[in-house]
A and B are shown apart, each in its own frame.
Chain A
Amino acid sequence: MNDSHRLMDAATLRLAAARIAHEIAETIAPKDEMMVLGIQRGGVGLARMLATELGRLWQKEVPSGTIDCGMYRDDVHERASPDLYPTHIPGDVTGRIVVLADDVIASGRSVRAAMDALNALGRPKIVRLAVLIDRGRREVPVQPDFRGRTVKTGPTDRVVVKWLAEDGEDAVYVVPA
């Protein structure tokens, strides 16, 4: 990527995800009914990685799925992209601990929308938020419970997270405008 600067390589990204998984494991017990849901589309890779890592820590299968917030965005009437992506929930969310995972948090609006999407599916006992990159610039009062790294970015910079399964590498880039 031209002019872009690599914020994390594969090893650093995986270490950050592993650390987030350990932090989650400090607050959630292995016996708790929980699931990790990746916010479409960037959060799907992190959810998968967290579920694998937690599964290793707890020696059990940790359910992971996806949630799309496209129908619940507050800019739905501003004719942003109409693309919708699959929501796949491994079981019922009601009464469970749900960890929402996203690659990057900035305005916080996708997370707000994802919580609306989650409410349409049921009533989780607890909802937590894990993000790989917190780039600041919040527009609504939503804060992650677990974060990989905090970076200061300009309003027009883009933070691009790549996942091995979808993009061929695990890495994070900052792309200036």
Chain B
Amino acid sequence: MSWTRPHLLDIESLSADEILYILDTSREFKAVGQRSIKKSPVLLGKTVVNLFAEPSTRTRISFELAATRLSADIVNFTTEASSLRKGETLKDTALNLEALKADIFIVRHEACGAAHFLARFLKGSVINAGDGAHGHPTQALLDVFTIREHKGKIAGLNVTILGDILYSRVARSNIWALLKLGANVTLCGPSTLVPKVFEKMGCRVTWDIDDAIASADVINLLRIQHERQRATMFPGINEYAKLFSLNHERLAKTRPDALIMHPGPINRGVEIASDIADCKRSVILDQVTNGLAVRMAVLYLVNQANPN
């Protein structure tokens, strides 16, 4: 197969082959990052805009570095210092940037579907870097890339996603990617944040952490999203830590080769005991390294497939 999509908006519309194609392409871009000259000329002369209407450090920096490594020019646009604050609509902001000949738009927005909306009228390529609680496709891609790198495959693996599923775009994109690639997905966390309705996607839902992690090949811990939390959903951080934190007692009950993942930023002592985050089985920093490679691959592929 070959890649034909000028945008990357979500995981659910991709086929398993398309996901694997991105992972294979990412592997070649990861190799670029390991050379003495960590740069590739594939986006030379192209302009990439980081259009972030919601706070982000790691994703924005990862995309910025990815675009730089591909020789593109990059403009960072954040709401704190922008006309969105003066009442300009997202559409007008994007059209103004396109009038300045931007070629690729990396979009983060609190509204689900923001990237899809922009892709309907922009000539340039749009990459979804997180839209509300809907999706964060490059995070899911870097997670499956990391799993495949360590386990050699995705199909047949037991992957447990633990934490705040309801408000998590990372969880949704991961679920789609993992299911499409043939993994068995278990979701676990407080019942208010892990509703049974996720079973309709094809996941197993349990509120018992011991049950969730016992046979897991991969444990992906999600951050408790204070900024999206409603007080009623959640009694308190301490109670969460007591009931759902990955501590040593729980770690001892997992498979010895189970990978421990976290999309970051980690809250040490909340989702994960501090030294477990730093242990050999933790691939949290590999995820960060791989995120750069995956984003380079996505930038390259959407640009290649855009006829404009």
B3 and chain A: residue at smallest CB distance: A82
Checking B2, B35, B301 against A121 with a beta-carbon cut-off of 8 angstroms, the contacting residue is B35
Q: In this assembly, does B13 line the interface, its C-beta being within 8 Å of a C-beta of chain A?
A: no
Residues of B with C-beta under 8 A to A79:
304-305, 307
**A114–chain B nearest beta-carbon distance, Å:** 14
**A86–chain B nearest beta-carbon distance, Å:** 7
Q: A79-B304, A79-B305, A81-B2 are in contact. Are A86 and B36 (CB under 8 A)?
A: no
**A17–chain B nearest beta-carbon distance, Å:** 28
Residues of A with C-beta under 8 A to B27:
86
Asked if A86 and B305 make an inter-chain contact with CB atoms under 8 angstroms apart, the answer reads no
Residues of B with C-beta under 8 A to A86:
27-28, 31
Asked if B2 and A82 make an inter-chain contact with CB atoms under 8 angstroms apart, the answer reads yes
Kindly state the separation between the CA atoms of A132 and B35 in the bound complex, as whole angstroms: 29
**A72–chain B nearest beta-carbon distance, Å:** 6
Q: In this assembly, does B42 line the interface, its C-beta being within 8 Å of a C-beta of chain A?
A: yes
A81 and chain B: residue at smallest CB distance: B2
Interface residues on B, range: 20 to 34
Asked if B2 and A71 make an inter-chain contact with CB atoms under 8 angstroms apart, the answer reads no
Q: In this assembly, does A58 line the interface, its C-beta being within 8 Å of a C-beta of chain B?
A: no
Residues of B with C-beta under 8 A to A116:
41
Asked if B28 and A87 make an inter-chain contact with CB atoms under 8 angstroms apart, the answer reads yes
Q: In this assembly, does A83 line the interface, its C-beta being within 8 Å of a C-beta of chain B?
A: yes
Contact mask A67-86 → B, CB, 8 Å, 1/0?
A: 01011100011010111111
Q: In this assembly, does B32 line the interface, its C-beta being within 8 Å of a C-beta of chain A?
A: yes
Interface residues on A, range: 10 to 19
A77 and chain B: residue at smallest CB distance: B45
Asked if A84 and B25 make an inter-chain contact with CB atoms under 8 angstroms apart, the answer reads yes
Kindly state the separation between the CA atoms of A70 and B2 in the bound complex, as whole angstroms: 14
Q: In this assembly, does B180 line the interface, its C-beta being within 8 Å of a C-beta of chain A?
A: no
Q: In this assembly, does A1 line the interface, its C-beta being within 8 Å of a C-beta of chain B?
A: no
Kindly state the separation between the CA atoms of A82 and B306 in the bound complex, as whole angstroms: 12
Kindly state the separation between the CA atoms of A79 and B36 in the bound complex, as whole angstroms: 27
Kindly state the separation between the CA atoms of A165 and B24 in the bound complex, as whole angstroms: 22
Kindly state the separation between the CA atoms of A83 and B42 in the bound complex, as whole angstroms: 13
Checking B28, B301, B307 against A85 with a beta-carbon cut-off of 8 angstroms, the contacting residue is B28
Q: In this assembly, does B204 line the interface, its C-beta being within 8 Å of a C-beta of chain A?
A: no
Kindly state the separation between the CA atoms of A119 and B45 in the bound complex, as whole angstroms: 20
**A48–chain B nearest beta-carbon distance, Å:** 20
Asked if A87 and B31 make an inter-chain contact with CB atoms under 8 angstroms apart, the answer reads yes
Q: A68-B28, A71-B40, A120-B39 are in contact. Are A82 and B301 (CB under 8 A)?
A: yes
Contact mask A86-112 → B, CB, 8 Å, 1/0?
A: 110000000000000000000000000
B31 and chain A: residue at smallest CB distance: A87
Kindly state the separation between the CA atoms of A25 and B69 in the bound complex, as whole angstroms: 39
Within 8 A of A (CB), among B7-40: 24-25, 27-29, 31-32, 35-37, 39-40
Kindly state the separation between the CA atoms of A120 and B32 in the bound complex, as whole angstroms: 9
Asked if A71 and B36 make an inter-chain contact with CB atoms under 8 angstroms apart, the answer reads no
A70 and chain B: residue at smallest CB distance: B28
Q: In this assembly, does B240 line the interface, its C-beta being within 8 Å of a C-beta of chain A?
A: no
Q: In this assembly, does B300 line the interface, its C-beta being within 8 Å of a C-beta of chain A?
A: yes
Checking B29, B37, B300, B304 against A120 with a beta-carbon cut-off of 8 angstroms, the contacting residue is B37
Residues of B with C-beta under 8 A to A72:
40-41
Kindly state the separation between the CA atoms of A77 and B41 in the bound complex, as whole angstroms: 11
Residues of A with C-beta under 8 A to B29:
84
Asked if B41 and A71 make an inter-chain contact with CB atoms under 8 angstroms apart, the answer reads yes
Residues of A with C-beta under 8 A to B37:
119-121
Residues of A with C-beta under 8 A to B41:
71-72, 76, 116
Asked if A82 and B40 make an inter-chain contact with CB atoms under 8 angstroms apart, the answer reads no
A71 and chain B: residue at smallest CB distance: B40
Residues of A with C-beta under 8 A to B305:
79, 82
Q: Across the A-B interface, give the 4 residue pairs with the lowest CB-CB distance, nearest first.
A: A82-B304, A84-B28, A71-B40, A120-B37
Cβ contacts A to B, 29 pairs, < 8 Å: A68-B28, A70-B28, A71-B28, A71-B32, A71-B40, A71-B42, A71-B300, A72-B40, A76-B41, A76-B42, A77-B45, A79-B307, A81-B2, A82-B3, A82-B301, A82-B305, A83-B2, A84-B24, A84-B25, A84-B28, A85-B28, A86-B31, A87-B28, A87-B31, A119-B37, A120-B35, A120-B37, A120-B39, A122-B36
Instruction: With A82-B300, A82-B305, A121-B36 given, name 12 new contacts (CB 8 A).
Output: A70-B28, A71-B32, A71-B42, A76-B41, A76-B42, A77-B45, A79-B304, A82-B25, A85-B28, A86-B27, A86-B28, A87-B31
